[in-house]
Each structure stands twice: as C-alpha cells, then as structure tokens.
Amino acid sequence: MSAYGYEIVQTLIVDIEPDEHVKRAMNEINAAARMRLAATEKAEAEKILQIKRAEGEAESKYLAGVGIARQRQAIVDGLRDSVLAFSENVPGTSSKDVMDMVLVTQYFDTMKDIGASSKSSAVFIPHGPGAVKDIASQIRDGQLQGRMV
C-alpha cells in the first residue's frame, strides 16, 4: 500500500476462516487431546477406586480378626469362670469333668445347628453315649496336638 501513499501500522483481524480441511484437522487434534486427558482421568479414578476397595477389604479383614480374637478370649474367660464356679459348687468334680461336660454341650449345640441349617446336605457324625466320649477325647487330643505344634 506504500506505492499508493498508505502505510498500514496495525490491522485488527476479526474473523479468520481457514480451509475446511484445516478446520477438520484442528478439531481432530483438539478432540484427540481431550480424549487422551479423559482416558487418563478415567484410569486414575479406577485406580483410586481399586485402592480404596482394597484398603476397605484389608480393614474389614483386620477388624474381623480382632473380633474373632475378642470372641475367643471371651469364650476362654467364660469357660474358666464356669469351670471354677462348677468345681467350687459341686464337690468331687475336676476341671476335666467340667470340660468334658462343656464339650458334650457344644457337641449337641453343633448337632442342633447342623440340623436346623437349610444349606447342609448330609453330615455323618457318630452318635450315642460312647460316641460323645470319643468325640470329647478327639477334640481334647486335637487341641493338645495343636498346642504342641
């Protein structure tokens, strides 16, 4: 424009209209970048969910273990108190006699639970006065062997 006596100092461009192929290519580049970002964010969210799920499961198992330990301790305390009280109140009984009675009681409770469960199919357990004594000795021997190992 200087040939005509004009000098252009600054130009304000308001509307650029590139070729359709250029527009499409730019849109595909932007879409690919957004898809890559979305995939990264989705993968990160899945990772967090899996970590939280694993942490929750670990905490649940830990608390279940603590609960079982407390339950067993309460059972032991209760058995000890029962054996002491029974031995004091019934002359001539030993702690072995009381434990045999407790084992027989637990045996009958187990039989009742097995019979009441709708999910149990068939369980063959020897039953009778002699069998109860055998089961008590088997339980006692199993516990003694477990302590030795």
pLDDT of residue 131: 65
d(CA 135, CA 107): 8
Question: Under a CB-based contact definition with an 8 Å cutoff, are residues 1 and 7 in contact?
Answer: yes
The predicted model gives 15-41 an average pLDDT of 93
Better pLDDT: 107 or 42: 42
In angstroms, the Cα distances linking 66 to 54, 69, 70, 146, 147 are: 18, 5, 6, 21, 21
d(CA 118, CA 134): 28
85-128 pLDDT per residue, tens: 877 787 777 777 777 777 777 777 877 877 777 676 666 666 66
pLDDT of residue 145: 61
Q: Is the dihedral of CA 101, 105, 106, 107 positive or negative?
A: positive
Question: Under a CB-based contact definition with an 8 Å cutoff, are residues 102 and 79 in contact?
Answer: yes
Least confident among 37-51, 78-92, 122-136: 122-136
The DSSP string of 88-109 is HHSTT--HHHHHHHHHHHHHHH
Give the distance, in angstroms, between the CA of residue 85 and the centroid of all CA atoms in the same chain. 39
d(CA 109, CA 97): 18
Strongest mean pLDDT among 16-20, 63-67, 74-78, 134-138: 63-67
pLDDT of residue 128: 64
Q: What's the pTM value of the predicted model, to 2 decimals? A: 0.45
- Asked if the model's pLDDT at residue 140 lies above 90, the reply is no
Four-point Cα dihedral 81, 87, 90, 92, nearest 10: 170
64-91 pLDDT per residue, tens: 999 999 998 998 888 788 777 877 787 7
